[in-house]
Amino acid sequence: MLDVGCGQGHWTKTLAPYLAEKASITAIDNDSNWFEKNSALKDYFKLSNIGFNLKKGDAEDLPFEDEAFDFVTCQTVLIHLKNPKKALKEMTRVLKPNGLLLCVEPNNIIQTLTKNSITQNDSIEETLDHIKYRLIIEKGKKKLGEGDNSLGDLLPGWFASEALKDIQVRLSDKAIAMYPPYDNKEQIATLKQWMQGSAWKSETRKDIDYFNAAGEEYMPFYFEYQEKYDTRSDHIMGAVQREQYHAAGGSLMYLVSGTK
């Protein structure tokens, strides 16, 4: 198995128990330090009977020979790439005949339309503001070559363009519901992520950078939005602290597979 863009190895570990006995895993990322820093995952693979190899490399230029793997996969990787189609072509190239390709990618923009206890009474105008804001960020992200957060919708067609067969499309049925007292493992992990910052935001860029990249005509809206909704995240965290925040926590995550 090849896991492309393995990050901290969570997807690698999730799939490992489903592999055949004595299977081998190769995981690749352009920053192998992500995985190296996760001592628990390193120990997991040391103790398992699964051969494991971590490599540094580029998803758009995989350092492997043609037809090298029986199973190639990625999770929430293509959304971050400048040329996701090239990465998909590379994954197909290193896949053996009759091998399986599995890509798991979301439509993140849909999250703007999901309701929670804070947004349930938003006006149409407020909802449209939030959608417009996210769409502009997406436009800027693409212009900067940092990918498309909602390309999951396009995957089946891209699989077909690579002449993959038996294309199957599934949706993840997993939701992380948030409700008081927020004390299960998933809720605690989610709150920790919220404290560290939005999943929409880059580690190196701010929203204003994406607005600038999208075009100067969007900057007035950026400042209007910030003035109008600047305290929104504080309201959410305040509601959490008062144990008044709740949301179903659904998402639109595609699992698309095909054989070569």
Cα distances (angstroms) measured from residue 148 to each of 2, 56, 157, 183: 23, 23, 16, 33
**At residue 191, does pLDDT exceed 50?**
yes
The length of the chain in residues reads 260
**At residue 202, does pLDDT exceed 50?**
no
Q: How confident is residue 197, by pLDDT bands cut at 50, 70 and 90?
A: low
Q: Which numeric CATH code is attached to 58-259?
A: 3.40.50
Q: What are phi and psi of 225, to 5 degrees?
A: -65, -45
H-only helix segments in the chain = 10-15, 33-36, 39-47, 84-93, 124-143, 155-161, 185-196, 207-214, 219-229, 232-241
Distance (Å, rounded) from C-alpha 4 to C-alpha 60?
A: 10
**At residue 21, does pLDDT exceed 60?**
yes
Q: Is the pTM of this model over 0.85?
A: yes
Each residue of 145-188: pLDDT tens digit? 999 999 999 999 999 999 999 999 999 999 999 999 999 999 99
Lowest mean pLDDT among 39-43, 156-160, 233-237: 39-43
Q: Would you kindly state where each structural domain of the chain is located, as residue ranges? A: 58-259
Select the more confidently predicted residue: 151 or 34: 151
**At residue 258, does pLDDT exceed 50?**
yes
Q: What are phi and psi of 73, to 5 degrees?
A: -150, 160
The pair of three-digit structure tokens given for residue 111, joined into one six-digit string:
């999250």
